[in-house]
Structure 1
């Protein structure tokens, strides 16, 4: 309740910008416009960590510099130069303590862009700071599993009242890329990333599992974990987005990935949404830093809702707050169409239904584990559209 009260107070100035409540399910958004498909690149894991991102960042350097410059100025305007300098100085300590290969990759990105290592580090730990999302797993009548997600980012980060948009969300969009991760000449997995962000938030490993990550708020959240990392040198805990990359690279099965996501100690609470390749393989793993709770696809509910899972940014056993209820419209639209229509088309349409789709949505992704398919498209929510 404290978490929701704090979020309510922060969003209070924007609530008057909300339009009328949910009025209906989107049915014609699919197929997405292919001109909005994000570009494809590869990351060669056989290169040294310092070299892996150089080619991509040569192309995306200008966009990354624009984003970091805006975030820097926004932080200084909100907190002041002295506070920003304090944060920046501590980021140097965080950077030097990060495990390999992540620290090496961050140094390589800093060199390619000309940015300080501290600012590239901040860009790479933003999950531990603030993100919003919606993830859906659906199973059709034949037992095929489909997975989709909206990645929403940038709340309170530069609302433009004239353009009705969040500046940081808009600056992130040119950085969104579809990555193929290569090792020994073979494709290991594919992901959707922000260029220069070395962790994993959305990914597929063919015939094994699909994955997305949603923010989970908590007073014992990322800030506490970061302080423990810096002040007490507690380096046994895992950075959330680095763990997800380790799972994508090392886990061989859905069950192995599920165990790693459930049992690893974390810096921050989180929701891991995991889809498998077999009937019934789907779960929402609600994580505290040292504990977990799992909602399985076929066990979390009964009756008409047993074929899908929906996660926004709130615990499954609690009602979402009235000022940020994306779950209810998503569940309503899935139930309305029914399992006979379970498909990537249905998921994309649900993820295009307002307010599930909103001004914070940077991309929508669809995944099919058995095809090894992942697609992602840039999103722009035209007015009337909810700020979040």
Structure 2
């Protein structure tokens, strides 16, 4: 998988100039996002106010840089970066971690429908470097500056799964930007958990966070304003697309839950039958025909201890 370096020592307004070498992919992805979002209407009316209130100056400048290297305006690029909060119902996702191993691995399927597998085909690993050292890495796409899946070597890894609650969305920071903030700025597992739990966010989500120490494994179940922290059961921690702790917030009409419970139970069965130890073992579970979905576009295994990323698309 191609790896692209983002130099954090550069000004935010210059960091994404490298996209000039990925114009076809960037423009194709932005066009795809915008077409999907055309019927959603979310954020469009108030995009200027939203940008001023909830998008940091750093990210505004990065968005400006992406726009400069694409065929789209700054506001169009920003709107596409709010994709999760606007259309999270098209996401699936399954993540799990075995918690009683000295060196823990964090496995994840990203399930996201797209035409012609455009999201799988254009997937890259972005290494965000400071002083020539990798500070954190994201599995992402050209033109998207937030984070759905990332790892901070020696600290923790984070993955985002979609879920729907009965709480209304909030005018607040998008979760994908908050995840990147945490990867960039949080120095400990506990600090990451506190920020991801207590910050008001735009929409619901489930976050798996895996640290390097034995007891550093949680799923944070979020609505925009509330949270619950779920810890491992037995020797595993599994998350799909349903609330297991914040059940009072559960949306009973949630289409994401149609396969969520089945995928969760299947991972549980597979883990109990043959506890995975190697990266290949984790991929075997991710690829099981009752776990992997027809819309799976990325499969990945993170090692939070050393920052290694194993990726299949």
**Counterpart selection for 1:180 from 105, 124, 127:** 127
Q: 1:203 aligns with which of 150, 154, 157?
A: 150
Q: How many Å separate the matches in 2 of 1:102 and 1:190? A: 17
- Tell me the secondary structure at the aligned position of residue 243 of structure 1: helix
The total of aligned residue pairs comes to 300
Corresponding residue number in structure 2 for 1:360: 295
Aligned CA distance change for structure 1 residues 355 and 59 (closer, same or farther; 3 Å): farther
Could you tell me which residue of structure 2 aligns to residue 68 of structure 1?
Answer: 30
- Map 1:99-114 onto structure 2 (within 5 A): 99-114=56-71
1:149 alignment counterpart = 108
- Indicate whether 1:343 and 2:278 are aligned: yes
Q: Distance in 2 between matches of 1:105 and 1:94?
A: 16
Residue 94 of structure 1: aligned partner: 50
Deviation of the 1:63 alpha carbon: 2.0
C-alpha distance in 1 between matches for 2:199 and 2:305: 27
Find the residue that maps to 1:101 and give its secondary structure: helix
Give the aligned partner of residue 237 of structure 2: 309
Deviation of 1:74 after TM superposition, in Å, equals: 5.1
CA contact (8 A) 1:281 1:296 kept: no
CA change 1:41–1:291 in 2 (3 A) is same
Q: Distance in 1 between the 2:259 and 2:209 partners?
A: 27
Give the match's secondary structure for 1:362.
strand
Give the Cα–Cα distance (whole angstroms) in 2 for the partners of residues 322 and 239 of structure 1: 25
CA 1:196–1:75 in structure 2 vs 1: closer, same or farther (change >3 Å)?
closer
For 1:54, the equivalent position in structure 2 comes to 17
User: What is the deviation of 1:92?
Assistant: 4.7
Shift in alpha-carbon separation, 1:296–1:118, aligned structure 2, 3 A: same
CA distance in 2, matches of 1:200, 1:282: 19
Distance 1:314 1:374, change over 3 A: same
> Contact between 2:107 and 2:282, CA under 8 Å: does it hold in 1?
yes
Structure 1 residues 314, 194: closer, same or farther in 2, change over 3 A?
same
Structure 1 residues 73 and 252: CA distance shift in structure 2, 3 A: closer
Q: Which residue of 1 aligns with 2:141?
A: 194
How does the TM-score come out when normalised to structure 1? 0.71
Runs of 4+ in 1 over 6 A off after TM superposition: none
- 1:196-345 residue pairs with structure 2 within 5 A? 196-221=143-168, 224-225=169-170, 229=171, 237-297=172-232, 301=233, 306-317=234-245, 321-324=257-260, 325-338=262-275, 341-345=276-280
Q: Point out where structure 2 has 5 or more consecutive residues left out of the alignment.
A: 251-255
CA contact (8 A) 1:63 1:174 kept: no
- Judging changes above 3 Å, is the alpha-carbon distance between structure 1 residues 207 and 244 closer, same or farther for their aligned structure 2 residues? same
Contact 1:203–1:374 (CA under 8 A) maintained in structure 2: no
Alpha-carbon distance change, 265 to 92 in structure 1, aligned in 2, over 3 angstroms: closer
Q: TM-score, normalised by structure 2?
A: 0.87
- Closer/same/farther in 2, CA of residues 116 and 333 from structure 1, 3 Å limit: same
- The answer (yes or no) to whether the contact 2:241–2:257 under 8 Å persists in 1 is no
The alpha-carbon deviation at position 75 of structure 1 amounts to: 5.2
Deviation of 1:181 (Å): 0.7
DSSP 3-state at the match of 2:23: helix
Indicate how the Cα distance of structure 1 residues 118 and 148 shifts in structure 2: closer, same or farther if over 3 A, else same: same
Give per-residue Cα distances to partners, 1:196-232, cap 9 Å, x unaligned.
21111111122211111111212435xx32xxx3xxx
Residue aligning to 2:7? 44
- The offset of 1:287, in angstroms, is 1.2
Q: Counterpart in 1 of 2:253?
A: none
Alpha-carbon distance in 2 for matches of 1:307, 1:314: 20
* Correspondent of 2:96 among 136, 155, 160: 136
For the 8 Å contact 1:54–1:108, the answer to whether it is kept is yes
Cα distance change on mapping 1:180 and 1:88 into 2, 3 Å? same
Relative to structure 1, the CA distance from residue 255 to residue 115 in structure 2 (aligned partners, 3 Å threshold; closer, same or farther) is: same
Q: Distance in 2 between matches of 1:75 and 1:373?
A: 33
Q: Which stretch shifts more, 343-352 or 312-321?
A: 312-321
